[in-house]
Amino acid sequence: MREAPYPPLADLALIGDCKTAALVARDGSIEWACVPRFDGDAVFARLLDDARGGSWLLAPVEPYASTFAYVGRSAVLETEHRTAGGAVRVRDVLVPPLDGDPPGLLVRVAEGLAGSVELASVLDPRPRFGLVDAVFE
């Protein structure tokens, strides 16, 4: 778990689809994402405002240590979380749009590696840099 409100720059990784991008923190939180374009409003902007910016955390419930790296020469990010009870890998990718599909399809896949790890997914989008509330249908 994070002790400071903002991650160090070395703990951030960029994923993108040639139209937009997101910053993923080593602890499993998406800190920044402008969807559907680079020059659009942020949906997740915790990097700017810890309280109102919004983020998407996918990480173990119990204390954990994490490492992350890109898969080969791709823009797929793999984060490995290790707890006292096991290990899990999370892959994050922004899927490039195909023939008219909208950009910004964010995919997060968790894979158990060892033991048992309970994950929490805390989705807290804050459209327009946190100026409006998200509406779920």
Q: Tens digits of per-residue pLDDT, 102-136?
A: 777 899 999 999 999 999 999 999 988 878 888 87
- For residue 93, is pLDDT > 80? yes
Q: Does 33 score more than 80 pLDDT?
A: yes
Q: Are 94 and 18 in contact (CB under 8 A)?
A: no
- Tell me the C-alpha distance between 135 and 137, whole Å: 7
Confidence of residue 1 (pLDDT cuts 50, 70, 90): low
Residue 2, pLDDT score: 66
Q: What is the pLDDT of residue 133?
A: 82
Count CB atoms within 10 A of the CB of residue 68: 20
Contact 79, 92 (CB under 8 A): yes
Structure tokens at 14: 């960029």
Q: How far is CA 20 from CA 1, 50, 93, 121, in A?
A: 27, 22, 11, 22
